[in-house]
Chains A and B, each alone.
Chain A
Amino acid sequence: MTAIQNPRSGQLGSGKIAPQYKRSGGSKGNFEMLAWLFMRLSGVVLVVLIFGHLFVNLLVGEGIHAIDFGFVAGKWADPFWQFWDLAMLWLAMLHGTNGVRTIINDYAEKDATRFWLKVVLYAASAVIVILGTLVIFTFNPCPVVDGVQLPGGFCPAP
Chain B
Amino acid sequence: MWSWVGHRITGVVIFFFLLVHVLDTSLVRVSPEAYTAVIGAYKNPLMALGETGLVAAIIFHAFNGLRVIAVDFWKKGAKYQRQMLWVVLALWLVTFAGFAIRHLSLALGGH
Contacts and interface: CB of A to CB of B under 8 A. Distances in A.
Contact of B26 (A58, A69, A97, A131): A131
B106 A138 contact: no
Contacts of A97: 15
Contacts of B66: 43-44, 47
Interface residues of B, dominant DSSP: helix
Contact of B39 (A43, A68, A100, A150): A68
B48 to A, nearest CB: 8
Interface in B3-55: 8, 11-12, 14-15, 18-19, 22-23, 25-26, 28-29, 31-33, 35-36, 39, 42-43, 48, 51, 55
B76 interface: no
A59 interface: yes
Interface string B60-86: 001001101100110000000000000
Interface in A62-97: 62-65, 67-70, 72-73, 89, 92-93, 96-97
A70 B33 CA distance: 11
10 contacts: A40-B68, A43-B65, A46-B62, A47-B66, A59-B99, A64-B103, A69-B32, A96-B11, A103-B8, A132-B22
Given A40-B69, A40-B72, A43-B68, 4 more contacts: A59-B103, A96-B18, A128-B19, A139-B28
Interface of B: 8, 11-12, 14-15, 18-19, 22-23, 25-26, 28-29, 31-33, 35-36, 39, 42-43, 48, 51, 55, 58, 62, 65-66, 68-69, 72-73, 99, 102-103, 106-107, 111
